[in-house]
Amino acid sequence: MLEVILARGPGARRSAAHVLVVTLLLGCLGCLVQIAAVDPKSPLSTTRPGRQIAYLAMAAAAALVGTVVGYRTALRWARPALWVTWGLLLVLLMPGMEERKGSTRWIELGPIHIQPSELAKPTLVLFFTALAARKKEILHTFFRGFVPAMLYIGVTGALVVLEPDHGQTLFLFAIAATVLLINGQPFKHFLPLGLLGLPAFVFLASEKSGYVRARLEGFFAGSHYQVQQGAYAFARGGFSGEGLGELRAPLFVPEVHNDFALAAVGEQLGFLGVLGVVVLFLWFFWHGLRIAFLAKTQTGFSVAFGMVFIIALQAAVNIAVVSDSVPPKGIALPFLSYGGSSIIVTGLCIGLLASVAADAYAPHQLPAQLRLRLRQSRATA
pLDDT, tens only, 104-155: 777 776 666 788 889 999 999 999 999 998 888 888 888 888 888 999 999 9
Q: Are strands 107-109 and 112-114 parallel, antiparallel or unpaired?
A: antiparallel
- pLDDT tens-place string over residues 208-233: 666 666 666 666 666 567 777 777 77
The half-sphere exposure of 361 on its side-chain side, counting CA atoms within 13 A, is 22
The 8-class DSSP code of residue 361 comes to: P
Question: How many whole angstroms separate alpha carbon 124 and alpha carbon 171?
Answer: 11
Measure the CA dihedral 321/327/331/335, to 10°: -10
- The pTM score is 0.88
Residue 202 confidence (pLDDT) above 90: no
Q: Which of 127, 132, 137, 105 is nearest to 330 (CA)?
A: 105
Q: Which of 58, 101, 112 is nearest to 210 (CA)?
A: 101
Question: How many whole angstroms separate alpha carbon 322 and alpha carbon 346?
Answer: 20
Q: What is the mean pLDDT of the chain?
A: 81
| Cβ(48)–Cβ(257) below 8 Å | yes
The region that residue 186 occupies, defined by phi over 0 for left and psi between -120 and 50 for alpha, beta otherwise, is beta
Domain limits, the chain: 2-380
- The amino acid at 381: A
Question: How many whole angstroms separate alpha carbon 312 and alpha carbon 318?
Answer: 10
The half-sphere exposure of 70 on its side-chain side, counting CA atoms within 13 A, is 8
Compute the C-alpha angle 28/32/35, nearest 5°: 140
pLDDT at res. 308: 96
In the chain, pLDDT over 70 holds for what percent of residues? 77
